[in-house]
Structure formats: C-alpha cells, structure tokens
Structure 1
Amino acid sequence: MENLGLDPSPGSSPSNQALTRTTLLGCLGLLLALFLFTAVLLVYIALDQNLAAEQHSRLDLDKALQAFDSNARTTLKDYALWGDAYQHLHLSVDLEWAFTRQNFGPTLYQDLGFDGVFVIDPQGRTVYALVAGRLVSMDARDWLGETLQPLVDHARLVAAGGNASSRYLSIAGVPALVVADVLSPGNDPQVRGDAGPQSVLIFVARLDPTRLLALGQGMGIEQLQLAAAGAADGLPTLALPEGAGTLQWQPARPGHRLLLLVMPLLLLAGLLVGLMAGFLLRRAAAAARLMDQQVQALRVSRWALAASEERFRDVAEAASDWIWEVDPQLRFTYLSERFEVVTGLAREATLGLAMDELLSTDQDSLQSWLALPDRHPQAVLQCTYLDGERQPRICRLSVRAMAAGGYRGTASDITEEVAARRRIEYLSQHDALTGLANRTRMQEFLEGKLQALPLLQEPLLMLSIDLDRFKPVNDLLGHAAGDQVLHEVSQRLSQCLRSEDLVARVGGDEFVLVVPGQVTEAEIEGLCRRLIERIEAPFYICGHEVFISASIGIARAPADARQAEELLRFADIALYEAKAAGRSTWRFYAADMKVRIIERRSLERDLRHAIEQDQLILQFQPRYRLADRRLVGAEALVRWQHPQRGLLEPEVFVPIAEDSGLILPLSDWVLHAACRAARSWPGHLLLAVKLSSSEFQRGQLVARINGALIRSGLEPSRLELEVTDKMLFDDSRQVLTSMQGLKALGVRLLMDDFGTGYSALQFLQSFPLDGLKIDHSLVARMHGNDTGRSIVQAIVDLAHALSLRVVAEGVETTEQLKLLHAIQCDEVQGSHLGPPLETAGLLALCAEAAQAAGSST
C-alpha cells in the first residue's frame, strides 16, 4: 500500500504554533513520564505478587504429587500383603476369585482410580490384566514397554526392605504413576509362601486430563494439565520425575487484581489530562484528523479487499474439499488447485468437460437432477468418479445456483467414510470371531422367512447346536485354542449347508442353522448325522489332537411355531432333551417336551424348598468284608420325601440339582448329616459319601470337607469319598490338586462306577486312590457269562496289583456273592446283603453283629 502524506493545516502563525506545540508537548511529556513511572511501579508490584503466588502453587502441587505417590504405594501394599491375593494370583491364578468376586475387579478402577492392574509371574508373564475395570488378555509390555522388566526387578529388590517401588512413566503420551510390589502372604498363617521368585503386582494410575483437573481443583489450582510441546510462555510448569512429562496450570494472579483496582484511577487521571490536551489541540488537529480518517478509510478498504482475496485463496487450497463452478451447460469453468491433490486428475484437462463425463450418481444424470423443480437451492448429492489411478472414489457434492446462471459448490471425498460405515454395518450383523451371522442377523433372516411362509407342510427348519466337551479345551489349552476350534467349527457347519441356508453363532459355543424350503424328516436326520460327524472329526490345535461333539435341537415352522421367538425357544427345548439323552445326538421338538421342562422346573423349585425345610432323608447301604462277612461300613444315600409325589429316589432329583446349581447345598446337607450320624456308629465302621464332579470345579471342596469333619467330630480316617472317573477327564490338574488336599486331611478316596465310563490305567497310577468300586452292571453280567466274569476278575487283579481295595456294588444273588468270593473281591454291598437302612436300623444291625460276634466267642 502506498504511503500518503499530510500537508500542514492553515491557522495561527508558524511561531505561535511552534511555541504552543512546544509548551504543550513539554507539559504532556512531564505528565506522561510521571504516569509511566507510577504505572511501571504498579506493574512491578503486581508481577512480584504473581511470582509469589506461582511459587506457592508449585510447592502445593509438588506436595500433592508426593501424597498421590504415597497413597498409591500404601494402597498397593495393602493388596500385595494380602494372603488371599498371594494364594489366588501367585500360587495359582483364579480369575473367579480375582475378577468375578471383585477382589481385584472393577472397584480398583471405579473407586481407587487405577487404570491398569497387572500381575507378573516369576517367569515374566502377565497372568492377570485389568484395564479400565475390564478383564483383558494382554501383556503388560503393551502398556509399560521396555520399562516393565526394570520395574519388576526393582520391586523385588526393594521388597526386602518392606518398601514398594514407584516411578512416573509416559504411557501413550499420558504421564502415569506406576507402583509395584511383590505379592506376599503377609501375616496370614493359613497361606504358605513358596521358595521361588515372587509375582509382582503393578498398579498404574494415569494422570489424564480429568484427574489432573480434579487434582488441581483440590488445591485451588486452575486448569492443571499436561504441557504440550511448544506450550505457551508465561504459564508455570512442573516437570514430573523420570521425564514422564511436564505439568502446567493457570496460576492465581493477585497482582492483576491490584492493577484492576488502582489502574482505573490512574487511567481516569490520565484521561482528564488527555481531554484537556485534546481540547487545546482540537482546532489545530481538526483538518489533519479529517485527512487521517480519509486516508485510514482508504487503507482499511484496500487491506480488507486484499485480506479477503488471500483468505479465500488459503481456505480453498488448504481445505480437503475442492471447489468447482460450471456454466449453464454444466461444463466446468473453474476448479481449485485442491482438485488435482484430491482426485489425481489434471485440472487443465478437466476444465471444459461436462459434469456427467466426470461424475455419476445412482439416480438420473446430474443435468436431470439439477433441473428438478423441487430441488433445494443448496442441495447435496453423493457421486462417484474414477481418480487418476482409475480407482473408484466417492464424493459428496454440495450445489448452489449462481444468479448469472450455472452452479458452483464444493466436493468432499467420503470414500473412507462410506467404507467405514459399510464395515460397521457388516460387523453389526456378523460375529467378529467366526465371520458367521450373529443373533441380530439371524433374527432378521428368520423373521423375513417366517413372514413369507407359503402354504407348505414344512417350509422352514431350525437347528439349535451346542458343542459338547468344549469347556475342557478352553481350560486346558487356553482361550486362543478355543477360539481356533470355534472358527473351524463354523467352517465345517458352513460346508454342510446350501447357499440359501443360514448359519449363525448366537453364544459362546452355541450355533443356529436356519434351513428354508421343504425338507423331509429323513433329510433332516441325514443333515444332523453329517453335522455331528464333521464336528466329531479331530481338531489339530497347537500340536494337540482335540475331540468335541455336538447336540442338536430341531424345531419346524409352521408345524411347531410361526413366531421367531417361539421357534428359537422350542429348538432350545429340543436341544435340552438331546443333551439329557446322552449328548452327540439330535431331537425333534414335541409338545410333551415343554410339559417335561415345566415339570422339571417345578421339581427344581421344590428342591430348593426341600433343602431349606428338611424334607431330605438319609439311608445307609451296609457294606461287608467278603472274607468273613463282617460289617465294615455303609454308604450314605439321600432320599426326598416330597409332599405330593412321595418318596423320590436320587436318580430323579440329583440330575436336576447338577443342572440348576443346587448340587453344592444338597451335597453339603448330605455330608453334614451323614458325618453327624456316623459319629454315633462303632469306631471301626467307615462312612462312604458320593461326590459330584461339579464339586471339584467350584465350592472349595477341601475346606467344605474339613468343616464337616470339624463340626461333626468324625475322624477323617473313617470318611470315604467316592468319585467318578468322568471328573478326572474334565480337569485332571484341578482334580489332582483337590484330591491331594483331601488326602492331606486323612480321608479315603474311592473311584466309583469303575469299568463303565472313561476309566484309564493312568488315573489309577496318577491319583491318590485307596480303592475302586465295580459298577453293579458288571456284577450283574458275571453269572453265566464267562466274558463278564473275566472282566471283573481282571479289574480285581489290576486293583490288587496297584494295592487298591476293591468293592463290588449291586450284589443281588447268592451266585454273584460266590463268584466275587472266588475271585478274591475285598468288600461287597447290595440288596442280597441287606436293604438301605436309616440311622436307627443301622445301629440295630451293628448291635446284632456285635452280639453275634460275642456269642461265637
């Protein structure tokens, strides 16, 4: 811009004008110097007060960080010296205790504010990880990086002095306080420490913006936050230890308040002086002021025009959109430079082209769309085009009509946005692990098919599939192996279906197949047979050969139901029947299944009341030593005196207790009642009690058995617990640990129903058993059957070779008793030797036996 000069205005003579100007300028200079001195002095005082306030807030913040560190180490120490934590997170990793029971669960995040909780075992593995209150499977190095191992080593080093290790780290750009200490049994006498290296417990509390603001507000510090690179000058800062970051805040400004109080008075005095000087110079400066205003207006106008042009150019080229204009014939007359960057096309070559030659829509041509009478003046349209590499791209076109004819607007590239939206839509309808349809997609597919049902007899088929023996895969090989099995199962299921069929994963190991169209019952059974055969084929996972199976429930529409929810429910009922029938099979839904389910639920409800209201009865099956027919013990048998159904055998209600989770309270009742009864027996008699497989999986079996023995006063050596070989296959390591704990109490262990299940020689050698029990079905096949007698003989010989006692149950005839005596079986029980007796009857039998023994002597 050009520089404009001003001519002196006419008025007083140059000498008077010069004298007046000199005098006024001298007075004004003196007053200005005094004003400036006063202002500088006030500013100096204000800055000094601000500096003192800033130092005070820095000291407060430093103390608060020290208190934050101390509190975190104290909290960590409380958890690290917890004997239960040492037992369940170091000696073994019990996720149910730690997370499900919330001992190390979401409260650490919600109440105590720890964003991350990790347990590092002696081998350096992360065995427990809690992030933002959620249980995750991840390595602590994903958060702490290469600082993890030095942190663990330092924690173990300082643990000898009873201290916890703490340091500040930067995690993903956010400073965090990391405290670590070794897990120790503390002063808990019931937990014994091992001799090896100890696991390390790590708590991570991130100083995120929310926490920093709360920390600052607690000390009266405003806007406490993490200082970014290139932070504005003038704000106080505090560097965190270990270079974890720098904090800055808005300090209190007491000096500013002083200035606000005094400066207005000073300014008022200056204003009065200025008004007097202005009055004196008004006439002399009137002409110059007018000229200055005109020149300034011209300069502002020229500057505004240049700034507007520069602003438009910068915005047009810096934006991700490109700007376009077309003439009334819809040919491009202008394209911004951004067009070439976004599209990869040459701008000069595109100018003059018709819009339809570059852009296309799913509707009519652009010319037809722009000509619509009801189109909004600022319409938006989605278009596609080919970029410079001939790849399809998608843009959103905004259009505005120009007064002189033609159109102008912007084009925004939304290719990635559309792809992300399509991906989200896909994920909302499919299972992330297997890629199969999820429950939402299956529900939509099923409802669509049911709404269009033709008048056919069997137009749609639903199969509900649940995997059998899948849980041991997760327990023994880990969830990654389980996920691999589920992924391969989904592929096998898909290979058995047609293109128009649908297979969906609706739960952990639950799948649903929807088969539309007319399908005969023979074809359905053939499909079920193929599905089970494919699933039962071995899986090769992580070097292991894994075997699972499946049970299938079948419901048909419209024969069984026309509503999706009912069809799903009926298929689940049929699936339940298939599982109850022994698994690895299929069942069609029938109306009486629903009745049985209702009856079973009624029994389950009644069983809960029966345990609480003491409707259960104990009977004892006597057991005899075969060599001299001497009574050696009795097996506890539970009966249920139902108010309406009468006396129920355990075969009726024990499976219900297993499925409903009532087996633990039922078993507790039997165990305590039997131990109390056996306390009054002669001291040489044993008490045998059956254990359920679920009791080894949950319920703290060893502690429960020990509690029953202590309360009843029964000697542990008189208690014999009968276990089935099936539970050994479910989780042999956990079962072995429990059995070793039981043996440590002094009780005896007997393998029940030997020869009918999965019995393997390795279990007889590996587990601390005292004997085994031959199932009654093998005993029944001995008479008149050489093969049956040989099997029992082999079992007895095998048990004796392993120094195990052999008990035969279900002895019903004299011939069976003689054969068992001939093959040197140790003990027998059964109806031939006497029926189950209540406590009074068993005591009478003991008295008779003692009297007979006395008379014989």
Structure 2
Amino acid sequence: MDMPSRIECVEPTEHGADESQRGFFGLIGTRRRKPGTDAAAEMQTREALLLLRNYEESGRGWFWSTDTEGRITYITDAVAQMMGRPAASLIGTPFVELFLPADSHDERQRTLPFLMTRQSKFDDLPLRGAFEGDDRWWAVSGRPQLDANGRFAGYRGSGIDITAQRRSAEDASRLALYDSLTGLANRFNISKKLDSTLAAFSQQQRPCAIMLLDLDRFKQVNDTLGHPAGDALLKQVAERLLKIVGDKEMVSRLGGDEFQIILPDIEDRGELGEMAADIIASLTQPYSVEGSRCIIGASVGVAIAPFDGQSSDDLVRNADLALYAAKGNGRGRFAFYSSDLHQAAEDRRVLEEDLRDALTRGEISIGYQPVVNAGSNVVTGVEALIRWTHRDRGHISPALFVPIAEETNLIWPLGEWVLLKACEDAASWPGEMRVAVNVSPIQFANPELPKVVARALAASGLSPDRLELEITESVFLGDTAETNRMFKALKDLGVRLALDDFGTGYSSLGYLQSAPFDKIKIDQSFVRGATEAGSRNGAIIAAIVALAEALDMETTAEGIESLDQLALVRKLNVSHVQGYIYSKPVPSAEVVRHGEAGSWTIKPSGPARQRNDRFSMFRKVTAIHDNHRYAVVIRNLSATGAFIEGILDVPIGTRFVIDFGEGQLVTATVRRSTKHQQGIEFEQTMVSDGNGGLCTRHRVSPYLIAAAAQPTSALALPTFTTTEDWKAA
C-alpha cells in the first residue's frame, strides 16, 4: 500500500518509547492512554509504529526532528547515509545546514531558516542537499511542536526525494528555451533575451549589435550525406561559433541552418567586421562527419542598435536584410545594414527578372584577360570573363549577377553560352593561345557537362588542349565517386583542368593526389597582403608553388596590381601572372590583333607598391568647417582618404568633418588642393563593410543626435559605395 508523501506524527508519551525499539520508534513513542485501555488499542498503536518503520526503511520518505534551537534530535538513518553521513554524526547539527540556501537556486519563496526562526509550519519546501556529492532535491515538511505548557519544543517533520521530478521539470524547461540538437538558445529564448537587453540598453544609452548567420551549401550536405550527417555538422558549427563568441547564452540556433548572435556594448564596425570575418573563416574550414569530408560556407548580416533600429523587430529585420545583401553579393561575406539596402533588395529582384532576358537581348558578352608568363612577359592564354551591359544601368558587376544566376538556375544556360562563345572565339585566334572558362559547382554537378564541352569543341573546331576549365574547390563537397567520374569524363575529352581560388580555406592535399589538375590558381587574397610587413602570405604562396612543382602543375597568381607584388611572385617562382599589372579584360578582336602580330608580349605597368583599394564614385556628401556646411562630391575613396571637389581654393591643412550620412562622421585634413579639387586624409581609417566597400568604424549615436535636438532623419542618408551603384545619385 502506498504511503502518503507527508506523515503526520503522533504525540509522544512523557517517557518516550522503549529504547529497544529502532528507527522512528525512538522518536514518536506511543500515544497517551487512559488507565484500562484495552489490548486491542495497544496492538493498533504498535501496528501503526511498525508501518511507520516499514515506510522509513522503504526509502519512499524519511523523518526528522529538532530541539528548540533547530538542532537535529532525530533523522532517518537511510537518508543520512544518502547525504553521505551516518545518522549519529548528524545529531546536534543545525537542520538548516543539511541544505543549500534557496536563493542560490533562484527559489522565489521564503527560506528554511526564515520559516524555522518564525516557528512556522511548511509543506513540501524544495531544498537541495548541501553535502559534497549530494545533488539530490528534497521536498521537506515540518510542524512546530509545543509542550504541555504550550511552549515551543522543536520541530518534527518528514521529507521525500524529488530529484527525478525536479530534473524532469528542468529538462522540460530547457527544451522550451534551448535547441535540443546544439544546446544553444532557441528562437524563443534569444528573442526574449534581445527584447530585455535592448530595453535595458535604451535606458542606459548603450549600443548592442546582432549578427544573423546562414550556412551556404548546407542543403547539399543533407542531400548527399543524409540528415543525420547534417545534424552532426550543425553541432560542430555550434562549437566553432562558441569558440569565437565565448558567451553561450548569446548564441542561438533559430532553426535549420540559421543562427543569431547578440553582442552587447559593441558598435565598432571594425571589431564587428573582424569577428564576422573570423566566423566565416572558421565555418568554412572542412568538417569531418561520419567519415566524410564536408565543406560549407557562411554569410553574415550585422545590425547595430540604436543606429539600425531600437526595437528587436526592427533590428532583426535589418540584420536579415544585411544577410540577404551578403548572400546576394557572392556568399561567404558579411554585410552591415544600411538604409539603401531596402532599395538594393528591390533592385536585385528587378535584376533577376532582367537577367532572364539578357541573353536574348544580346546584353551578355565576354572579356578576355591575358594570362602572362611571369618570367618572359609573354601571353600564353586568356581567361574568359562574362560581362553584362544592362540596357538601362550599363555595366553590371559579375559579383552581383552571377550569384543571382546560381540561385535562379540561370547559371546553366549562361555557362553553356559562355563555353560555346569562348571556344568559337578562340578557334579564330592565330597561334596556339589557350582560353580558360570558369565552371560553377552547379554546372560541374550536372552530368550533361561533358556533352556540352564536347559540342562546343566540335562546333568550333578548337583543339581540346587549348581549352582550360577552371573549377573551384567547392566541387569536392559532393559525392566523391561522382566527382571522380566527372573528372575522368572531362579529361577523356582532352581538355585541361585548373583548380581556381586555391587557398581560400577549403584546400586539402587529399584531392590533389587524385584530381587530374594541370594548374593551380593562387587566390588573390594571398597576393594582396603578401607584401605587407609581417605578412605570412609569402610563405603560403611559396608552399603552394612547391606543392604544384612536386605534382608537375603550373601556377597562376591572380589579382596582381603593383610592381612589388609582381616582384614577389616572380621571386617565389610562380609560373604565370594574371591581373591589372599586365592588362584588364579585352575584347576578342584585340586578342586576334595581337595574335596576328606574332608573340604577344606585355610590359608590366602599375603602381610601385601595393596601396589601399580606391573606389571611383560620384558620391554626394557634406563637408563641415567652422559651422559651415558645404555640398561636395567624392570622386574616389580609400581607407585613408578621398578626392573631393566642390569647394574653391581650400588652403592645405584645412580640417573638415565629412558627413557620409547615417551617423558616419570622419575628421579629414586637406593635403592637396587645386582650385575646386582637394585630396583629403582621414584622421581615422575606414574599415571594410564586408561587401567590397568602406564604412566608418564608429557612428554618432541617435541618442546624441536627439540630445542635440537634431532630426533623426539626418541618419537616413545612404552609406557610400561604388560608381556602379551611384550613377543615379
């Protein structure tokens, strides 16, 4: 028979029970009896005591008592042993010392010491054991006892073990707040946390940034390796995020392959950009999942309160818009929110529609960038680069429209057209110059690719060894057997294969052992920083060259723009060079002209040293000097300065505050001045916006603008960008 969870103790006798009785008998004794009580009543009392003893020994509950000072006079031996102490050693110990203070476990109720001091009764008070190794929870009940004169005589009570129920409740609570797969906060939890953080920070006028992350190519992992592998991959992603962010409570999985990070008290976009870049670099490193090697990517959108929104809804929406922009500009990027992204999103939708008809309208063309022998300056081949000249907007960057083509399945007809056109053009060139054509992972995964290549070669009459297909490392994400079959089918056609963008984080020596590449192209990100003091990029380039030579492969360094970069890659024995130091992409007619002249040799020409990227633009900003505001136009911009026009005869040394809008202010000094044009140097360098542009590291808070009685609409000006996006400015 089940006993109740709480046992009401019987009144003791004046002399107590026989000391030969064990357990609870020593505590409760027998009931007072009037003379002449019959034997049946005495038997009933003894039976009750035996039942209590049996209950005590069953472990389903326990009993305790104290003196007037709250010191233990009795405790069930079995529960004392569970607490790691024999019952005898606990006699005389304050009862409250058996348990941890309730407030250390967020119990919003009156504490045990308070209740016992007030001599109050209590029922099912949840308490946690205080002894080392005792992680049990107990529901403890107690009643104050009075002697014959009505004076307080101590406590008697009972307890039961509620550890299982407590853990079950904690598990249920955890499931409601945390993602069961990764252990990170879930959408509900992080939403509440963001609400409370922004509410508190608004009162204190403190900034708070959030990042939204979306994994690139994760669907391919689920499709090729199965959902269990995808789940294992998400766990590893969570671990990598926590290593970078640190605070587990600020990282959440929203669902699927989406994550959110809260970053309190950070508004420095340089710091945020570095963290976003670190996250992207970490998440793009290869994963080992169930014996398979997986490669994914990540894109990040960043929004900062109060600059980009003061409510959680506004901030999340704007971070999501920044994420959309990052994905739309090539993936594997981060982007900060700016107000012009709303228009950019609409522009991108329109571009998608226009791209569907671009081929039939004759707006797609090919430019050919020379690939030059690093030692002799002789052109050995060209790379076919797709170009789109929009009927209204003019030149559209491939970085903008190629990702659109990949997302909308337009990359296959565009890629097929480029391949056919490049082969046709190359067949008309004098000599044996090669042409390289980029093949996207989507094209590579299509089993029809070898047939398309064969048709292009047959239709043009181009010799197969003059066609080079450039393939990125992301093709190795898919099924290894299918990948190997594709390589074999292409090589059986006699074409050359080049590994493009080598060194961007996906690299593995494993696939170089089996993939039949003829050339390795060193990514320009290594070249760009190689000549900077303290850079290790030169050592990495040297290692890549040594690897290629050992595997009997050529090497091409991409993106060479300065003479010091060229000198370095020559010193490191890179066999071929491609970049503006030799030539921009040229039309097929120019390739024909040089081919007819015989050997095509180009003398390198460019700046002596690598310099900060400069962006040509037509950007209207405001220059502030001595409380006067001047409308000026930025003609080019770098991280350290700009070239402006619009103010006449400004003395050298004049200091301005340049207002780029959206709270972006930077102090600048005039270093060169000619009539209405000035070259200015920034006091603090700009930082990357993650999307190929620049932005200020800090912004003026809307709180300060409000305090200065300035309209918040002053923050609505768009951030600066390149000429292509600002021709209509």
TM-score by length of 1: 0.39
Structure with the larger helix share: 1
Higher relative contact order (CA 8 A, sep 6+): 2
